[in-house]
Amino acid sequence: MLLVALLLLSSPMLLAEGQSFCSNTNILHMPNSTYMSNLNSLAKALFANVTNSNSHSANGTAGTSPNKVYGVVICRGDTAPGNDCANRLNKVLDAAINNNASSSCSSQKNITLFGHGYLAQLRFSDQDFISSFSNAPECTVSANLNPLPVGDASEHFNKLFYKMMVKLTDSMVSKTIKYKTGEGWLSETSQTVYGLVQCTEGMLPEACQDCLRSTITKREQMVGSGQMGGAILGVHCSLWYQTGVQFFAGHPMLSLSMPTPNKFWIWITIGSFSVIVSVSWLLIHIWIKTERKRERARYELQLLSIAIQNVLNLWRIEEGNSGFSLYDFAQIKEATDNFSSENKLGQGGFGPVYKGLLPGGLEVAVKRLAACSVQGLLEFKNEIQLIAKLQHKNLVKLLGCCIQGDQEKMLVYEYMQNKSLDLYIFDSKKRAQLNWSMRLHIIDGIAQGILYLHKHSRLCIVHRDLKASNILLDSDMTPKISDFGMARIFSSNAMELNTTRIVGTHGYISPEYAFDGVCSVKSDVFSFGVLVLEIISGKRTTGFYPYDGKLYNLISYAWKLWRVGEWCQLVCCRIGNNHEMMERCIQVGLLCVQESAEDRPAMDHVLTMLNSKNVNLPKPKQPAYFFVRSSLLSSEPEVPSSNINISITLER
């Protein structure tokens, strides 16, 4: 029989304060041992996995027998995934350890923690419970509500509960997101019953369905047939329900037998409302919604600030000699002349960027985080975790950062004298400064930097926001890739990731990422292909250009010209006469922007094609985003479009 160690942190919406459930055992003893060392290592790895995969759960193992540890961690589906979930799990484990640090209990190798306050649970064992999909040990809890009277009301409640939970289970198991919420109407008591079911992410549909079906049938004996609220929490699947109070976040995903209002009273209500009442209701609604958003933003900012501080602490301990520095605010303030407008280099989504001069004559670029920016904090944390560990001549060097209290957060980079690539290729005067050899040098440098990220760095990294404004140029016009706020780390065996949050810039995002949320190294290859066409043509990818009486976007325009052998019309101004190499570069660019990710070459092959004249290039297929418009103004040379940064959330 497993010893269950329970951590109870009560939730005001589901549990009464101080209520205990499952067992009176609340001791978690973790003596110094190989097993517990493996357990702690596994817990950190699982928390990191949850963060990196932006998910709600993770499982894995650590160590070897007899001290091998199996573990599963999971947050409830209606909480925020990724970093927020990892923080919840970490707090549950820390609270359990700190609460029982003085215990003299003997070592236990089977540990299960349910933290209702954080809506998170963890299980560790020396036995393989992961592959067996065993849901034991299961924890039950009943809400502090008056039970239904015995009789018809209780019977109707039980029927509604069973019907709703089965429907939630059946409609959820085949989905990627392994949780679902619902509501049902109990007409006998005129109350709404709310429910939530969840399985561990990655669980097979059949196993998830069997697990939940078994749990649903146990409710009457485990929670009590008359209880109007409660939960059964297991290792692989769980369910929650409550009458009268919606305990989960967001709108119910499924509604069952909800009442339809009487039309007569609807018309009476509509007729009774005056303009003043309507306006008042709208203002109150806007105020409440705004306050909720502000509260959520404050909470997320607090969590991110804690996470950033943890990252910096690790830098102090582990990377003391890496060249990454922590600057004083007064030092940065003096270097930028108190962030004067004369030293301002530009303004991005992250915040303003200033030129600075440090003691000793070192020129730097300082990105100052805009106050109260959740997205900015995410990018700040991402950059100090990623780019500070990357070293390559074609990547911008992050020298360090500066943090002053809760308000000031800055990143300090090496200064690029020639600023960004877009200021040259899209400017009618400056573009003439870039001859063909310089443009080829820039194309090759960008490709070398991307190849390093994909293949030769310690981590496989997909940038996800490659564009002309993120390519900086030093005094020798050597290109350096910058802005790693959107970058993602790939594990060594992962070819692609699926995500519901699409980030990047319109015109540079690959079609499989934009429409299906599938991100891979081929996403960066697509962006590189767009960059090549922009560098050669001096035209923006978001513009429309006339050909044969119609308007085409840049990718389609380049493909049409290449197919009929008129590719010379694409080349910007008089940049040289190396026609063979120009044609080769255009063809490589078109190979990189093909519709299918599988057809696009990897970056090492791209470099081979660019640098070896002996390599025969395949013919590119029709590219992605083949947009055509009727030309209303045939004399207009081009119809430009704005360069728009986008962040899309896809619901699947």
Encoded tokens for 192: 């709404």
CB 465 within 8 A of CB 519: no
Prior bond of 205 cis (ω within 30°): no
Q: String of b and e for 70-105 (b: at least 16 CB within 10 Å)?
A: bbbbbbbbbbbbbbbbbbbbbbbbebbeeebeeeee
219 sits in which H/E element: helix 219-219
Is the N-terminal amide bond of 137 cis, ω within 30° of 0? yes
Q: Within 10 Å of residue 553's Cβ, how many Cβ atoms?
A: 23
In this structure, are residues 52 and 41 in contact, taking their beta carbons and an 8 Å threshold?
A: no
Round to whole Å and give the CA distance between 382 and 483: 10
Secondary structure string (H, E, C) spanning 159-198: HHHHHHHHHHHHHHCCCCCCEEEEEEEECCCCEEEEEEEE
Helix H or strand E segment including 647:
strand 645-649
Q: Which of 78, 465, 483, 524 is catalytic?
A: 465
Q: Is 465 a catalytic residue?
A: yes
- DSSP bridge pairs for 400: 325, 412
Task: Please state, in angstroms and as integers, the Cα–Cα distance from residue 622 to each residue in 500, 531, 594, 600, 626, following that order.
Answer: 27, 18, 6, 12, 8
For the purposes of burial, counting CB atoms within 10 Å of the CB of 179, is it exposed (0-12), middle (13-18) or buried (19 or more)? buried
Name the DSSP letter for residue 3: P
The angle at the Cα of 68, spanning 62 to 71, to the nearest 5 degrees, equals 60
The whole-angstrom separation of Cα 30 and Cα 162 is 40
Which H helix or E strand runs over 443? Answer: helix 436-451
* Catalytic positions: 465
